[in-house]
Structure 1
Amino acid sequence: MLEIAGLRAGYGPIEILHGVDLAVAAGEVVALLGSNGAGKSTLNNTVSGLLRPVAGSIAFDGAAIAGWPSMRIVARGLVQVPEGRRVFPNLTVRDNLALGSYRRGGAARARNLERVAAIFPRLKERWRQLAGTLSGGEQQMLAIGRGLMGEPRLLILDEPSLGLSPLLVEEMFALIGRLNADGLAILLVEQNVVQSLAVAHRAYVLENGRIALSGKAADLAQDPGLRKSYLGH
């Protein structure tokens, strides 16, 4: 579904990604792991059309999308839930969700609102509350719900567990598993190595703009280099 080859990208003269290869098949959860500054968000933003690549190719569902505007990429079904939630604080929960269907999914907006309400009952309870008054965990639910409103064929989740309590982190990864069980392909971009590998089918480790490790998630969980670098043993 998504195939990235030789991707080089950055900001002005500063190159952040140095020839990244990565793929996500239909129905997969693929984890992209790495520490702060490894280049994860740069990769997300390049794939999503917010940055133009310097070199390399990005194919989504058979179409070469490198350099496409972000709105065209979203309309095709590749939707990113950005790091930091990025909700509209002065709009209600319901209006934030409705905006998720601006480019895609508008015809089924009412049905998708019901679906998101079923997935996140807490959001339904706060339907007319301003998004800026929600807790951090609720804002993360809202951000994911807004992404689902666009009927994604591939959902990119950028650091969905960041800043959440341990209990909410457990809920977040359980949710990712349920969404995938319904057939949604997910690129999970995370620093939480243990739980990401538990929910993913395959994984890549990004270090200094390059893929350092890749393979089946279960195999990487046992990799001594990864365990030493990220798990401390």
Structure 2
Amino acid sequence: MSEALLSVRGLRSGYGAVEVLRGIDVDVAPGEIVALLGSNGAGKTTFNQTVSALLAARGGSIRFAGHDITRAHYRDVVAQGLIHVPEGRRIFPNLSVLENLELGSFARARAHRASNLQRVFEIFPRLKERTAQVAGTMSGGEQQMLAIGRGLMGEPRLLILDEPSLGLSPLLVEELFGLVARLHAQGLAILLVEQNVAQTLEIAQRAYVLENGAIQFSGSSAELLATDRLRQAYLGA
């Protein structure tokens, strides 16, 4: 693997008296899709929030593009190109589709807003058709498109997708994973955080499996698919 774009070592994090993450090591190389897998409550969202500086780390280190961001402000993290599309989409429901997209370039790539908007519309033609629509009136799948499009407006160097398939129909899930594969083919590094193990491992180069706040398995997707315990726990095989 080439030098890591994101390098997390010994990460500890939690809420109040509860320590959720207990010494997590994760690497993502430039242009790589890495999966972080695990069931509900495993600590995936806590990991994302800590790496994105929305939650303070209690120990360990986080480096991004050669810079130590362990104690950085979340605005500085975004400005460096680490962009997080959160679980549950978190769009602004009372704003229009266009306003939501424009907010994606508020902290980064504002000078390229027009060209990035055209790129998003090429990827998501449906959003171009609905620029004036109030975002909260869109379907769940359309809102997920909007959330990802908003993330792309900031020209991410690494895009963290937190449970993007949650609540989507099987057909939309297929479309979503196809989109992630296309973004990767364009050279974008992606950390895909999912419960949908089978489809995630089809497109990820490597994966980590998080259980009870610790990494239990890591390796190439092929190696993880060959692990009996993983197949039994997540794939029913």
Shorter chain as denominator, the TM-score bin is: over 0.9
Question: Do structure 1's residue 61 and structure 2's residue 57 form an aligned pair?
Answer: no
What corresponds to 2:90 in structure 1? 86
Structure 2 residue identity aligned to 1:77: G
Query: In the TM superposition, what whole-angstrom CA distance separates every residue of 1:138-168 from its partner, at most 9, and x where no partner exists?
Result: 0000000000000000000000000000000
Question: Do structure 1's residue 187 and structure 2's residue 191 form an aligned pair?
Answer: yes
Provide the rounded CA distance (Å) in 2 between the counterparts of 1:229 and 1:176: 25
What corresponds to 1:165 in structure 2? 169
Provide the rounded CA distance (Å) in 2 between the counterparts of 1:32 and 1:71: 24
Structure 2 residue identity aligned to 1:39: G
What corresponds to 2:126 in structure 1? 122
Alignment equivalent of 1:41, drawn from 45, 67, 81:
45
Q: CA deviation at 1:43?
A: 0.3
Alignment equivalent of 1:77, drawn from 62, 81, 85:
81
What corresponds to 2:137 in structure 1? 133
What corresponds to 2:157 in structure 1? 153
Provide the rounded CA distance (Å) in 1 between the counterparts of 2:116 and 2:134: 20
Provide the rounded CA distance (Å) in 2 between the counterparts of 1:222 and 1:146: 36
What corresponds to 2:7 in structure 1? 3
Provide the rounded CA distance (Å) in 2 between the counterparts of 1:205 and 1:125: 39
**Which 5+ residue runs of structure 2 have no aligned equivalent?**
none
User: Share of identical aligned residues, percent?
Assistant: 66
Q: CA deviation at 1:67?
A: 1.6
Provide the rounded CA distance (Å) in 2 between the counterparts of 1:189 and 1:90: 27
Provide the rounded CA distance (Å) in 2 between the counterparts of 1:33 and 1:121: 30
List, as ranges, runs of 4+ consecutive aligned residues in structure 1 with deviation greater than 4 Å: none
SS of residue matched to 1:127: coil
Per the normalisation by structure 1, the TM-score is 0.99
Alignment equivalent of 1:219, drawn from 201, 217, 223:
223
Q: CA deviation at 1:218?
A: 1.6
Alignment equivalent of 1:19, drawn from 9, 20, 23:
23
Provide the rounded CA distance (Å) in 1 between the counterparts of 2:98 and 2:227: 44
Question: Do structure 1's residue 201 and structure 2's residue 200 form an aligned pair?
Answer: no
Q: CA deviation at 1:185?
A: 0.1
Q: CA deviation at 1:223?
A: 1.2
Provide the rounded CA distance (Å) in 2 between the counterparts of 1:147 and 1:97: 8
Query: In the TM superposition, what whole-angstrom CA distance separates every residue of 1:111-163 from its partner, at most 9, and x where no partner exists?
Result: 01100000001111111000000000000000000000000000000000000
Query: In the TM superposition, what whole-angstrom CA distance separates every residue of 1:50-95 from its partner, at most 9, and x where no partner exists?
Result: 0111100000001010121111000000000000000001100000
Q: CA deviation at 1:205?
A: 0.1
Q: CA deviation at 1:222?
A: 2.0
Per the normalisation by structure 2, the TM-score is 0.98
